[in-house]
Amino acid sequence: MAPPSDLTTLADLPRLLAQVAGDSRRLRESPRDRRVGCEVDPAKIRRLLARRYDFTAPMAADALIADVARMLGDWTVDVTHPRYFGHFNPSVRPISVVADTLVALYNPQLAAWSHAPAANEIERHLVAFFAERIGFDPSAAEGHFTSGGQEANHTAVIAALVRRFPELPDRGLRSLPGQPTLYLSEEGHGSFEKIAVATGLGRAALRTIPTDERFRLDPSALQRAIEADRRAGHLPLLVVATAGTTASGAIDPLPELAAIARREELQLHVDAAWGGGALLSRSQRGALAGIEHADTVTWDAHKWLSVPMGAGMVFCRHAGVFERAFASAAGYMPGHRQGTVEPHASSLQWSRRFIGLKVFMALAEAGAEGIERLIDHQTAMGNLLRERLRDADFELMNDTPLPLVCFTHPRLAEPGRVAKRVAQAGKVWLSAVSLPRGGQALRACITSYRTEPSDLDVLVAEVVRELPERD
């Protein structure tokens, strides 16, 4: 085929998008006919890229689309598969794929309110909706979209520093009379290690607190750690509670931690990156009771709300903190409009992508009750999986209302090996996990709203098949 004499234009876009649909096996095939896992030698991918993509000759758009769709299809773990029981990577709802396409097409720049009034007001409207679900007063709280939970947690730590030390944005950490300290459970998210580095607090600021038998942060151990730090002259700053830990879905005891934070005059952050989804279900939101006492909350729409990455959110119960942290008067930015908040001067990002549209369209299409049904379905599948596992003589290792099950079996010695062999067989993807106090288990999270009871049967059968024979 002759190379194109010219580049594709917007007029070609409908045809190109139709070709994306035609070339993508994601759209042509039933998901259950596809492998979930992916095993590939990096050398194979590199050889193809070296051969076809030295970028010397232009490539026709149709050939390029077909090639990329094939690479992504063949060499990606299919996290959108109904039998992907892995990390918090959901199946994405088609309406949110349309949303991301619209975002790319219009390319609104959200950094300055006046450049993207529609997009900025849509995000503001959503932030108020989710803030209310947390139990915050939306008129007194603030929030914004982030790339994900990492950025949301990072923003929350900066907010805690700024609230406690108002001079800090100007004078920096070296002006403080001691070391601010952060408390999270041993099961808390690893992002806080990077945040400790990025904020200049250093990992020495982190206190990892032991968990109880349900892998929840132990409040009395927290109390002791705070007292020890005060005696040592440190500056206890922030309690990080996790609502839905990554390994086992544990929800830290939020009311107790809120009481300690209040009494000790520490701030409280709740990392509900995945577990926040439960707040949209009337029957499940009680599991997160106490979250309304948090000063800040992290909640990722790209975890349990089934939209594509990255769509994190950070909320603060006290409006104005983010502006105090991130204010910047750049002479080249468009003028400010009364009654609006400038995103670039109240968040870590500068240029901002329209992250919220996929959440907006997903929520609007289904309605709040439609989203609730998806959340409740996944929770029901988690409960059913527990039943099926018990019936097959597995032992459950965790205890959470969220749809995440850690399990073992008397004949299961090496969960990591079994998870790998199951993935190689291609019908199911699940992970192995280390739990506190040396526990090793298999871990299955219901991440797809399309998972059905028959998928759970396949999961159990695949694991049973890989168990060593009885001796």
Ligand X SMILES: *Cc1c(COP(=O)(O)O)cnc(C)c1O
Minimum distance of ligand X from residue 298's CB (angstroms) = 6
Minimum distance of ligand X from residue 271's CB (angstroms) = 5
Contact 247, 215 (CB under 8 A): yes
Q: Where are the alpha helices (DSSP H) in 24-88?
A: 25-28, 42-52, 61-74
Question: In this structure, what DSSP letter does residue 175 have?
Answer: G
Nearest to 169 by CA among 5, 346, 342: 346
Segment holding 306, helix H or strand E = none
Q: How far apart are CA 23 and CA 68, in angstroms?
A: 9
Minimum distance of ligand X from residue 276's CB (angstroms) = 9
Nearer to ligand X, 117 or 310 (CB): 310
- Which two three-digit tokens encode residue 455? 């998928």
Contact 213, 226 (CB under 8 A): no
Q: How far apart are CA 208 and CA 26, in angstroms?
A: 42
DSSP SS3 for 178? coil
Nearer to ligand X, 256 or 300 (CB): 300
Q: How far apart are CA 203 and CA 311, in angstroms?
A: 27
N-term to C-term CA, the chain: 62
Minimum distance of ligand X from residue 401's CB (angstroms) = 16
Minimum distance of ligand X from residue 286's CB (angstroms) = 20
Nearer to ligand X, 168 or 313 (CB): 313
Nearer to ligand X, 215 or 274 (CB): 274
Q: How far apart are CA 26 and CA 191, in angstroms?
A: 31
| CA 325 from centre of chain | 24
Q: How far apart are CA 360 and CA 123, in angstroms?
A: 8
- β-pairing, 404-408 vs 296-300, is unpaired
Minimum distance of ligand X from residue 163's CB (angstroms) = 21
Nearer to ligand X, 87 or 230 (CB): 87
Minimum distance of ligand X from residue 134's CB (angstroms) = 15
Q: How far apart are CA 8 and CA 423, in angstroms?
A: 40
Bridge partners, 434 (sequence order) = 440
What is the largest distance, in Å, between two alpha-carbon atoms of the chain? 76
Minimum distance of ligand X from residue 90's CB (angstroms) = 12
Nearer to ligand X, 209 or 460 (CB): 209
CB-based contacts of 281-284 (< 8 A; 24+ apart in sequence): 281/372, 281/375, 281/376, 281/379, 282/372, 283/376, 284/375, 284/376, 284/379, 284/401
**Residue 404: left (phi > 0), alpha (psi -120 to 50), or beta?**
beta
Minimum distance of ligand X from residue 244's CB (angstroms) = 6
Burial of 161 (0-12, 13-18, 19+ CB in 10 A): buried
Nearer to ligand X, 248 or 451 (CB): 248
Residues forming the site for ligand X (CB under 6 A): 88, 148-150, 153, 189, 191, 242, 246, 271, 273-274, 300, 312
Nearer to ligand X, 153 or 431 (CB): 153
Minimum distance of ligand X from residue 402's CB (angstroms) = 11
Minimum distance of ligand X from residue 152's CB (angstroms) = 7
Q: How far apart are CA 216 and CA 242, in angstroms?
A: 8
Nearer to ligand X, 116 or 241 (CB): 241
Q: How far apart are CA 258 and CA 243, in angstroms?
A: 13
Nearer to ligand X, 46 or 203 (CB): 203
Taking only Cα atoms into account, the Rg of the chain, rounded to an integer number of angstroms, comes to 24
Nearer to ligand X, 304 or 407 (CB): 304
Nearer to ligand X, 89 or 342 (CB): 89
Minimum distance of ligand X from residue 88's CB (angstroms) = 5
